[in-house]
Amino acid sequence: MLKIDRLCVNHGLASALTGVSIEVNRNELVAVIGPNGAGKTTLVNAIARILPVHAGDIFFEGEHVTNLSPLELGARGVALIPEGRRLFTTMTVEENLDIGCYRTLARTHRAASLDHVYDMFPVLRERRKQIAGTLSGGQQQMVAIARALMSRPRLLLIDEPCLGLAPIIVSQVFEVIAMIRDSGVAILLIEQNAVKALKIAQRGYILDCGNIVAQGSPAELEAQGEIKAAYLGAH
């Protein structure tokens, strides 16, 4: 579904990604894990077409999308849940969700999509008239997820969804992501919490210093002793 081939991205003169190749298949949750500064957010922003790509190719459903704008890529069914949530903070919860289904096609399914996300997050139904900026961090993350789902994506890019959230909320967020995976949306999950991410992922990549240093199923990654010690924490 998504195929990244030898992607290179530079920040000024420094190279942030040096030839990263990853793949996400239909109905698959793929986790990209790695330490701070490994290039995880750079990777997802390059895929979402927010950052310019210097070399390499991005294919979505077999088509070359490296040169599309974020607007055009979104129209093809790729939605981003950005790091730090980045809600429309002065608007109500429901207005945020409305922007999620702003495109003509998504708009025709507004009622059904709203029911779907409100069933997933009942607290948002209660608070649909509340200004998004006044919600707790966990609720704001739910709005960010719900907003992306309103666009009826086929591929969801999720960047560090648990940043700054309380541990109990973190578990809820992972449960929700697993639910979305089960509903048939392909997901590329960028996460620092490797243990939790690999619990719900079918496959994982470990990114360090702009390179993929290991890949495979969660069991395969855990079996590699050095990797476990270096990136997954030695529990």
Partner 1 sequence: MSATLIGQSLLSGLMSGCLYALLGLGLTLTWKYLRIINLAHFALIFLAAYLTYEMSTRGWHPFLSALLLLPVFFMLGAAQQVLMSRYKVDEFASVIVTFGVTIIIESLIQYVWSADFIRVEKRLARGSLELGPWLAPWDQLIMCGFSIIACLLVWVVLKHTWHGKALRAQLDNPSIAAAFGVPNRKLSLALAGMGSAFAALGGVFIALLFTLTPSQIYSWFGVILATVLLGGLGSTFGALAAGMVIGVGESLTMALTAPAWAPIVPFTLLILILILWPERL
Q: Binding residues for partner 1, per CB under 8 A?
A: 48, 50, 70-71, 74-75, 79-80, 82, 86-91, 95-96, 98-100, 102-103, 106-107, 147, 151
Give 48 or 190: the residue with its C-beta nearer to partner 1: 48
- Token couple for 175: 């449960």
Question: In a 3-state reduction of DSSP, which class is residue 66?
Answer: coil
Question: Nearer to partner 1 by C-beta: 54 or 107?
Answer: 107
Smallest separation, CB 65 to partner 1 (Å):
14
Residue (105 or 229) nearer to partner 1, CB? 105
- What's the CA gap between 48 and 43, in Å, rounded? 9
Q: Classify residue 213 as exposed, middle or buried by CB count within 10 Å of its CB (0-12, 13-18, 19+).
A: middle
Residue number with CB closer to partner 1 (11 or 107): 107
Q: What does the DSSP 8-state code read for residue 164?
A: T
> CB 213 → partner 1: shortest distance, Å?
30
Q: Rounded to the nearest whole angstrom, what is the least distance from the CB of residue 106 to partner 1 in the complex?
A: 8
Q: What Å distances lie between residue 144 and 81, 85, 124, 135, 161, CA to CA?
A: 6, 6, 11, 12, 9
Instruction: Give the dihedral of Cα atoms 205, 216, 230, 175; nearest 10 deg.
Output: 70
3-state secondary structure 44-56: HHHHCCCCCCCEE
CB of 91 to partner 1, least distance (A): 6
Closest distance to partner 1 from the beta carbon of 75 (Å): 7
Give the nearer residue to partner 1 in terms of CB position, either 50 or 170: 50
Does residue 152 contact residue 180 with C-beta atoms inside 8 Å? Answer: no
Q: Which is nearer to partner 1, 45 or 206 (CB)?
A: 45
Q: How far is the CB of 72 from partner 1 (least distance, A)?
A: 10
C-alpha separations of 187 from 36, 95, 125, 225 in Å: 21, 25, 25, 27
